[in-house]
Amino acid sequence: MPNADAAFDARNLTRAAYEQSAMSWIAAAGAVDRTTWAASYDMFAGTTVAGGLILDLGCGAGFDAEGLQSRGFSLIGLDIVETLLKAANVRDAFFGRLVRADMMTLPFAADSFEGVWADGSLHHLRKADLPTALAEIRRVLKPGCALFMSVERGSSEGLAYPDADVIGARYYARYEADELTSAIRLAGFDLVQSVASGPSDRSGGFVAATATRRG
């Protein structure tokens, strides 16, 4: 029987780490050149409904907001970390349209969105919890509309301990492309593209996938 307490602890520990180190994490993440995300924004925009409503799932401080808004989308951001949501709320793309909630239980009606953008967020869930999260994403997406997700690359799973920017342990579940795309297909999505880059089971490696809701 799955250990529900372990699942909660993984998410709660990760939330607490980001709350405690929000300002240093924002400074480090904000220094990254987001123009390298342009191809992913364009792929996503070309896969879903133009001008649609997008859920930025695990939006953090909103570093993807301008890139998505500039491609004509309206945004709602969701994160579990209150301090990061406060930082995101200063962005015009998000102002007043932010929700504090868990990725496992999305507080939206079925078929609410033309897209879900989950950049570097779903890898903070245990692998055992990914099917539930993908089922929730599918539920709130309209048929034929797009999901983009990126995760750290590898096969390991567990707590990652403090680094220079974050005090406290964060949970990471890393995926190789075949494992991630298999989970996406099983959840009721049709794969459009997957990209793997960087080292496996080390910082800097990632897998990104774009898919559409089937049915």
Q: Mean pLDDT over residues 37-61, rounded?
A: 97
Query: What pLDDT score was predicted for residue 6?
Result: 63
- The count of C-alpha atoms lying within 13 angstroms of the C-alpha of 87, restricted to the half-sphere facing its C-beta, is 23
Q: Quick one: pLDDT at residue 186?
A: 98
Tally the domains of the chain.
1
Give the closest residue to 81 by CA, choosing from 98, 63, 105, 64. 98
pLDDT, the chain, mean: 93
pLDDT of residue 1: 39
Provide the residue type at 93 as one letter. Answer: A
Mean pLDDT of 100-120: 97
CA–CA distances in Å: residue 186 to residues 1, 85, 103, 150: 21, 31, 19, 17
What angle (nearest 5°) sits at the alpha carbon of residue 77, between those of residues 158 and 106?
65
- pLDDT, position 3: 55
Q: Percentage of the chain with pLDDT > 90?
A: 80
Query: Mean pLDDT over residues 28-46, rounded?
Result: 92
Query: Quick check: 80 and 101 in contact, CB under 8 A?
Result: yes
Give the tens place of pLDDT for each residue, 51-70: 999 999 999 999 999 999 99
Specify which residues 86 forms β-bridges with: none
CATH (domain of 108): 3.40.50.150
Specify the pLDDT at position 140.
Answer: 98
Q: In this model, does residue 87 exceed pLDDT 90?
A: yes
Which domain, by its residues, includes 32? 4-213
The average pLDDT across 10-30 equals 91
Q: Which long-range contacts (CB under 8 A, 24 or more apart) does 88-94 make?
A: 88/59, 88/60, 88/61, 88/62, 91/62, 91/65, 91/66, 93/62, 93/65, 93/66, 93/68, 93/69, 94/56, 94/59, 94/62, 94/65
Q: Are 150 and 41 in contact (CB under 8 A)?
A: no
Confidence of residue 30 (pLDDT cuts 50, 70, 90): confident
List, for residues 201-211, the tens digit of each pLDDT value.
877 899 999 99
The HSE-up count of residue 2 (CA atoms within 13 Å, CB side) is 8
Higher per-residue confidence, 158 vs 163: 158
Q: How confident is the model at residue 7 (pLDDT cuts 50, 70, 90)?
A: low
Half-sphere exposure of 169 (CA within 13 A, CB side): 11
Q: Given a cut of 50, is residue 11 above it in pLDDT?
A: yes
pLDDT of residue 8: 65
Give the torsion through C-alpha atoms of 94, 95, 96, 101, to 10 deg: 40
